[in-house]
Structure 1
Amino acid sequence: MRVLFATDLSAASEAAIKDQTCLECLGRIGVDEMHLLTVVPSNVHAGMPGVDFEKRRREALSNYEDVLLEAGFDVESHVVRGTPHRRVTGIAETIHADMILVGSRGKSPLENRLIGSTVRNLARTASVPLLVNRIERATDDPDPLQSHLFQRMLYATDFSENAERAFKEFSHLRHATQEATLVHVRKPKGQELDEPSPEVQSKLDELAGTLEDWGIETEIDVRDGDPATQILEAGAEHEPTTILLGSRGKSRLRRLLLGSVSEQVVAEAAGNVLLVPPVR
């Protein structure tokens, strides 16, 4: 598997790339090739006196390369210019990446609905799965909020085509996953709902059976209410290391707008999020 690690060379990015447990998790799911990418924004001019931004960034990336090479990955670095999220998605497609990985500071009480603009734009436009690795806030030497990436997964499903596409990620995640919670949220229309219908329960049991066959201890959690709110509450209750879900969108316009559920979960989840986009 090939992963594109997009970094702005911040403390959050450094924490994500230097966490040995996270690197071991990537190795377990079959990642053997890492591409490091940093983007020099278009408004930073190469001719600014006394400053060679590209040289500085290549030197900084060399420290990351050493860490990844020591961990056993094949490594290639890229320093490019342009709009960050556009260059990231473009390079990911060019190198046929299987996943994009970014480090992102966890939310603060004053920013409970905000994420970095680059991460938000990647969530809207990436054509391969996007793994947002949450990093501590308010410290100069941050650590990832979760040491393990895939040990405890929370998978949210509405049984849509995109949710099914996200579930297929377990085909390689299973090598690093020990526990999983399957979350399905029903939308009540002003009335209380009874137990899940036999059809819904059968689908959930089938998914759980697949995971159990892979040796993953699995539980089912059916909830009523607003999907994004309930997924986030389930995350707070079950404390997964990563929330896995698919994003909606059939047309190019809808892909750019991103489903509100996906965007809210990416923005507000306390832990990591693995967002799987629809097929273009």
Structure 2
Amino acid sequence: MAGPVVVPVLPTYLDPERVTHCAIPYGRAIAQRLGSELVLLSVVEITESLRSYLEAEGEQVERLIRRWLEQRREAIDRLAAVVDGVRTRVEVVLGEPAQEIVAFANQHQAAVIVMSSHGRLGVARLLVGSVTFSVMQRAQQPALVVRARVPVPAPNAPVSFSPVLVPLDGSSLAEEAIDTALAVLGQGHEPLELHLFHVLTNDEEPVRWEDYLQSIAQRLQDRGYSATWSLGHGPVAETIAQEAVERRAGLIAMGTHGLSGVRRVLLGSTAEHVLHATTVPLLLHRPRAVRRALEEQHAAAGPLRARDIMTPNPITVGADATLEQVAKLMLDHQIGAVPVVDSEGRLLGLIREEDFLARERPIPFSAFRAPQLFGRWVTPERLEEIYAEARSLQAGEVAHPPEVTVTEETPLSELAEHMVAANVRHVPVLRDGKLVGIVTRHDVLKAVAHGSTPRGGAGAPSDQHLPATD
């Protein structure tokens, strides 16, 4: 029997638009087709700020967390009680949501993870969107992403997956999406139809692609499946999304190049663009061939390391540089983060471009969030005043300790895993506590696309440090 179908959900008091609930009927339908168990998984998140608050409370923490877990289970049990036609189990765990979802799926050998994408449905996007994206990057299992909609479908609403639209580019990686879709959806009572699709570029010969798609369709027909095919013209992601609408597809199945190690830093660009362009559920799979190719590459040339792709001697500022100076530095040099160092070059923290935008943070003991800017709770009405005051704030007051640091010898695959796990774009490279370089996701992308050469040659940034102000 296939593994469980895992659907991560939040209770209504944390997800008032019920964004996560949109995935339930799809998870239920797949569990029915596979004869599998449906698991409604809910993660009680303990953020760093909340953890610090709780640690100060001492012995009351364990009792408080136990109460939270019981409250969450009661809420999800009520949600599961209305699901019929399939064995349903509730699991409630404590931790970082994306990490716990992936760990649960791995431990129980899940057949698929089914999650909702927020679209633009109000406050729930703050709670749901980043988790879904992070799970897609990390998960080894196929992931079905369902676009949230209003009204929210009932848990037992009927779902049709046919026809399954499979975009193909002639590679074995893309073709693996076919087998993934067949394995995830199983036989069920509804015959599964597949429609193969290729978007032509300007210099491609249609005849060649007609022959290719016809041959794939014939192989599927020989296996007893209904398979059709067509060609399209235009921007790839948008054309795929339009074809899905015109074919009334129940699902789009495609591969990503975000598998493991280095490749998992970025979701495959076409899949990511399709996800944003379509309202049709998107089934993403992890091609086995890419993993094998990476293993062969590492065996032949040895793993790349942080020193091979880092920007050495990055631009830095002192602790008493003003935020106005930091902002100007970022704009002048088109960089997304500036390390803050002491007089000996030891890293104190990072200031990122996103730190200049108000972000909503969880309030302890509350389901609500409130804006925070430069580490201060603010009302939306006071944002303009806060920005004016912040120009004179010193970098040392607002710099955040980096979530991840590495050494020059850290393998690139390990570095990339850290980037994904912590969901960061900038990783400082340290030697005995002193900053010697910085790695960005763009650096990793270039290493994947073009190979890597050391960055310390001609044209590399010099040691630029903004001295402390007088």
TM bin (shorter chain): 0.7 to 0.9
Query: Which residue of structure 1 lines up, in the alignment, with residue 40 of structure 2?
Result: 36
Structure 1 residue 155, shift from structure 2 partner: 0.8
Q: Are residues 153 and 120 of structure 1, via their aligned partners in 2, closer, same or farther at CA, if it must alter by over 3 Å?
A: same
Farther off after superposition, 116-125 or 208-217: 208-217
1:16 and 2:13 equivalent?
Answer: no
Q: Are residues 105 and 249 of structure 1, via their aligned partners in 2, closer, same or farther at CA, if it must alter by over 3 Å?
A: closer
Select which of 243, 249, 265 maps to 1:256. Answer: 265
Q: Find the aligned partners of 1:55 and 1:220 in 2 and give their Cα distance.
A: 51
1:89 and 2:89 equivalent?
Answer: no
1:245 alignment partner AA: M
1:3 alignment partner AA: V
Query: Is the Cα–Cα contact under 8 Å of residues 3 and 31 in structure 1 kept in the other structure?
Result: no
Structure 1 residue 58, shift from structure 2 partner: 0.5
Select which of 119, 125, 130 maps to 2:138. Answer: 125
Query: Which residue of structure 2 lines up, in the alignment, with residue 148 of structure 1?
Result: 159
Query: Is the Cα–Cα contact under 8 Å of residues 123 and 263 in structure 1 kept in the other structure?
Result: no
Q: What is the aligned length?
A: 260
Q: Are residues 278 and 38 of structure 1, via their aligned partners in 2, closer, same or farther at CA, if it must alter by over 3 Å?
A: same
Larger Rg: 2
Query: Which residue of structure 2 lines up, in the alignment, with residue 112 of structure 1?
Result: none
Select which of 77, 86, 105 maps to 1:62. Answer: 77
Offset from partner CA, 1:195-220 (integer Å, 9 cap, x none) = 231xx333311221233345544321
* SS of aligned partner of 1:236: helix
2:281 alignment partner AA: N
Query: Which residue of structure 2 lines up, in the alignment, with residue 134 of structure 1?
Result: 147
Q: Find the aligned partners of 1:93 and 1:49 in 2 and give their Cα distance.
A: 29
Query: Which residue of structure 1 lines up, in the alignment, with residue 386 of structure 2?
Result: none
Select which of 236, 240, 251 maps to 1:242. Answer: 251
1:207 and 2:216 equivalent?
Answer: yes
1:154 alignment partner AA: L
Q: Find the aligned partners of 1:171 and 1:156 in 2 and give their Cα distance.
A: 15
2:19 alignment partner AA: A
Query: Which residue of structure 2 lines up, in the alignment, with residue 111 of structure 1?
Result: none
Q: Find the aligned partners of 1:102 and 1:250 in 2 and give their Cα distance.
A: 18
Query: Is the Cα–Cα contact under 8 Å of residues 117 and 148 in structure 2 kept in the other structure?
Result: yes
Structure 1 residue 171, shift from structure 2 partner: 3.2
Query: Which residue of structure 1 lines up, in the alignment, with residue 8 of structure 2?
Result: 6
Query: Which residue of structure 1 lines up, in the alignment, with residue 236 of structure 2?
Result: 227
* SS of aligned partner of 2:42: strand
Offset from partner CA, 1:49-74 (integer Å, 9 cap, x none) = 98832111101121233344x4232x
Q: Are residues 153 and 254 of structure 1, via their aligned partners in 2, closer, same or farther at CA, if it must alter by over 3 Å?
A: same
Structure 1 residue 181, shift from structure 2 partner: 1.8
1:56 alignment partner AA: Q
Q: Find the aligned partners of 1:76 and 1:22 in 2 and give their Cα distance.
A: 12
Q: Find the aligned partners of 1:250 and 1:132 in 2 and give their Cα distance.
A: 17
* SS of aligned partner of 1:243: strand
2:220 alignment partner AA: L
1:196 and 2:196 equivalent?
Answer: no
TM-score (norm 1): 0.80
Structure number with the bigger relative contact order (C-alpha 8 A, sep ≥ 6) is: 1
1:159 alignment partner AA: G
Select which of 156, 159, 179 maps to 2:170. Answer: 159
Q: Find the aligned partners of 1:278 and 1:147 in 2 and give their Cα distance.
A: 30
1:5 alignment partner AA: V
Q: Are residues 118 and 31 of structure 1, via their aligned partners in 2, closer, same or farther at CA, if it must alter by over 3 Å?
A: farther
Q: Structure 2 stretches of 5 or more lacking a match?
A: 55-60, 122-127, 292-470
* SS of aligned partner of 1:97: coil
Q: Find the aligned partners of 2:120 and 2:158 in 1 and give their Cα distance.
A: 18
Structure 1 residue 228, shift from structure 2 partner: 1.7
Query: Is the Cα–Cα contact under 8 Å of residues 259 and 286 in structure 2 kept in the other structure?
Result: no
TM-score (norm 2): 0.50
Q: Find the aligned partners of 1:24 and 1:278 in 2 and give their Cα distance.
A: 24
% same residue: 26
Q: Find the aligned partners of 2:285 and 2:263 in 1 and give their Cα distance.
A: 15
Measured on the aligned residues, the alpha-carbon RMSD in Å equals 2.9
